[in-house]
Every structure is written in structure tokens, then in C-alpha cells.
């Protein structure tokens, strides 16, 4: 198992995964991030050596009001699509210039694989009214996924919007981290 914490969430990736925090990687931090406006997804992972995952985590719990417009207008979907775009450029740049191209080779290879092996996941936590039923949550996730699919159709149609109540990522367990005092 590979544990990775992101904000108030803890992700446990099973043995089928090769995964790391892209936005914490030294190549990204020391060079790529220095390009003005460049951002990366939170996690970059490979499942079963054949599916490339771009995973972005957004936890809007307790911040529903200030993020409401980002969800409604599609601004968040555009932001995620841009992070994926920049992450792809980071993979290619690292493969071309890093001292360890073997690390990046599998990621670069999967980007160009046919059939499309790329998946994009938005892990989105929001405050839900207590009266909200599980079915209603699934419908809302489906609607959100359609907006993200529209913004990412240039790359893949395999886009998921997941949460603690609706985890669609294989061999991954997610839980809330204990509060730090």
C-alpha cells in the first residue's frame, strides 16, 4: 500500500498502483513550477501498468459558499483541464531532460498509447445537506462529470468525479485524516 495525504484526506493506493505526488516532485518544484501560471495535478499514477491517472483533490467542505460559483460556471473544470495540460507538459519535459528518464518513460508511453489509457479524476468533497439522499449525490456527481468531460475531451472521455460517498477509483481507499490539534 502507498499512503498519500492531501489536505484533510488520506489516500491508500493498493499494490496495483505506481503513484506519487506530482506537485511535490523535485522536477516540478525546482524547474517546471517556476514557469509563471503553471500548475500540476496532485497525484500521477499508473494502475496495473496500463492506465495513466491524473488525480486532482479539492476539499470544499466548510468552504461551500466561496466555491459555489467555481462549480456552477465551469471555472473549476477549466482549472482542472489546465492542470492536466500542464502535467502532461511536465511529464514530457521530465522524460526529455531528467537524469532518470526511466522513471518518466512509462508515463510518457501511456500518454501516447492506443487505445486511450488516460483517466482524469477529480476527487471533490463538498458540504451536502443532511437531507441529501445518496441517489441525489450520484446524480450531482454525474452532472459534474459531464462538465469535466467537456473540458477534457481533447485528451480523454474517461473522467470521474469521486468523493468519500462515491469512490470510483479501483484499489484505492480514502478516509478523513484525524484532526490535528
Query: Domain limits of the chain?
Result: 2-122+140-176
- β-partners of residue 3 are 12
User: Which pLDDT value is given to residue 55?
Assistant: 97
User: Which pLDDT value is given to residue 129?
Assistant: 55
Question: Mean pLDDT per segment of 10 residues, for the chain of length 181 residues?
Answer: 92 96 87 83 95 93 69 80 94 87 89 86 77 47 70 85 88 85 43
**Residue 167: burial class (beta carbons within 10 Å; 0-12, 13-18, 19+):** middle
User: Which pLDDT value is given to residue 152?
Assistant: 86
User: Which pLDDT value is given to residue 136?
Assistant: 46
- Give, in degrees to the nearest 5, the angle at Cα 100 between 97 and 105: 80
Considering only the C-alpha atoms of the chain, give the largest distance between any 2 of them, rounded to a whole number of Å: 54
The rounded distance, in Å, linking the Cα atoms of 158 and 35 is: 28
Amino acid at each position: 500500500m502507498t499512503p498519500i495525504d492531501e489536505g484533510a484526506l488520506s489516500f491508500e493506493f493498493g499494490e496495483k498502483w505506481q503513484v506519487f505526488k506530482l506537485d511535490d516532485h523535485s522536477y516540478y518544484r525546482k524547474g517546471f513550477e517556476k514557469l509563471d501560471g503553471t500548475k500540476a495535478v496532485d497525484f500521477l499514477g499508473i494502475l496495473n501498468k496500463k492506465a495513466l491517472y491524473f488525480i486532482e483533490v479539492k476539499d470544499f467542505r466548510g468552504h461551500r459558499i466561496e466555491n459555489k460559483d467555481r462549480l456552477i460556471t465551469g471555472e473549476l473544470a477549466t482549472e482542472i483541464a489546465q492542470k492536466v495540460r500542464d502535467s502532461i507538459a511536465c511529464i514530457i519535459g521530465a522524460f526529455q531532460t531528467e537524469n532518470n528518464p526511466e522513471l518518466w518513460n512509462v508515463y510518457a508511453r501511456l500518454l501516447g498509447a492506443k487505445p486511450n489509457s488516460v483517466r482524469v479524476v477529480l476527487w471533490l468533497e463538498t458540504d451536502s445537506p443532511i437531507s441529501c439522499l445518496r441517489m441525489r449525490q450520484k446524480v450531482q456527481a454525474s452532472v459534474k462529470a459531464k462538465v469535466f468531460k467537456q473540458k477534457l475531451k481533447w485528451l480523454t472521455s474517461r473522467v470521474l468525479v469521486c468523493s468519500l460517498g462515491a469512490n470510483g477509483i479501483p484499489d484505492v481507499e480514502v478516509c478523513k485524516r484525524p484532526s490535528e490539534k
